[in-house]
Amino acid sequence: MVTATSDQTLEILHLEDSLADHELVARTLRRSGLQCQLRQVDTLPEFQRLTRSESFDIILADYRLPGFTALDAWSHVAQKPQHPPFILLSGAIGEAAAVDAMRLGVADYLLKDDIQRLPHVIARALEVHEARRAREQAVAELAASQRRLAELAEHLQTSIEQERASIAREIHDDIGGALTAVRFDMAWIGRHSTDPAMQDHAASAAEMLQHAIGASQRIMMNLRPPILEQGLVAAVQWLAAGFERRTGIPTRLQSSSDTIHTPPDIQLVAYRTAQEALTNISKHAQPGKVDIELSDREGVLTLEVADNGCGIASEMLDKPKAFGLKGLQERARTVGGWLDISSRPHQGTSVILSIPLPSPSPSVQGDVP
């Protein structure tokens, strides 16, 4: 983009049917010292041809021309994604018409009686245009960066879930199996030993092994809970029951139906959201109760986890290192959903996950006899 202060020559297209007015514009620009190449055109077809085949740094246009107006020319230029600034330079336009033209996107207007201001108007239009172009580029780059971050977050979440599933399988197949086998051996030793001390040690070891087996099962369930195979409602109910058993906090689940059918990726996002919300409640909220609601009405899966605890201060929600909440928000985006968190000090917190559900495939109907 050439600017008014650069050493390069500005390419200017002048839409004008008066040769005298065109020469006046050329003299005015030469006197100002502006380096430019000025080309005149006076018909709409020729104007359209030139703007399609060549590039210009700025366009000057009289308002009224034989058979058309500058707005006809502008409507053609405005369709180009990177169109140059378009300035009205006319002696036959009222202020109201000029303002309306600028609302349509025209960069500026100038009366021919005030032609000496033309270099300044051109410079200002170029500066505004360059600023707008830079802002649009920055917005596009930001959007691209956010898109790449979202793709990275989705990839990381997928990798994490795959790794969790792999670790859960290893715990079940290797560690769990080995611990169970050792426990049976310790039981056998206890039964066949006649030494009371040996029997006590064997019983103690068997008890510790049973504790280790239970711990491995809990870890495996947290990594990749098989309860998900029974559906989302059953999985969240299992979470709620486990939370109430561990914390003693009354936890109620209300669902729009006993079974909510969702794709596996959406089901996993909803489950992890409920799991993380309950974990945060147990760590920070100190509530008297927890309410969980599940719904698939109107084609949207909605999960709400609400407590009546101490709440979250607004500055805590915006903390740069609030990775748990930010992780939930990014996880929701991976399936086209969103997360809302509302909280007031001493009045509790509500975490709401909303995910549009895919439309069910229409059943294939046979020919009606």
Per-domain residue ranges of the chain: 10-139, 154-223, 227-356
Residue 180: which pLDDT band, with cuts at 50, 70 and 90? confident
Pick the CATH number of 10-139 from 3.40.50.1100, 3.40.50.150, 3.30.420.40, 3.40.50.2300: 3.40.50.2300
Residue 369: which pLDDT band, with cuts at 50, 70 and 90? very low
pLDDT digits (tens, 9 = 90+) for 57-101: 999 999 888 999 899 999 999 988 888 999 998 876 777 787 888
Is 5 a residue whose pLDDT tops 70?
no
51-60, 216-225, 358-367: segment of lowest average pLDDT: 358-367
pLDDT at 366: 45
Task: Give the CATH fold of the 227-356 domain.
Answer: Heat Shock Protein 90 (3.30.565)
Q: What is the dihedral of CA 314, 320, 325, 328, to 10 degrees?
A: 140
8 Å CB contact between 228 and 268 = yes
What would the mean pLDDT of 318-326 be, rounded to a whole number? Answer: 62
The residues pairing with 351 across neighbouring beta strands, listed in sequence order, are 305, 341
Q: How far apart are the first and last CA of the chain?
A: 69
pLDDT digits (tens, 9 = 90+) for 12-25: 999 999 999 999 99
Full-model pTM: 0.54
Residue 226 CB burial class (10 angstroms; 0-12, 13-18, ≥19): exposed
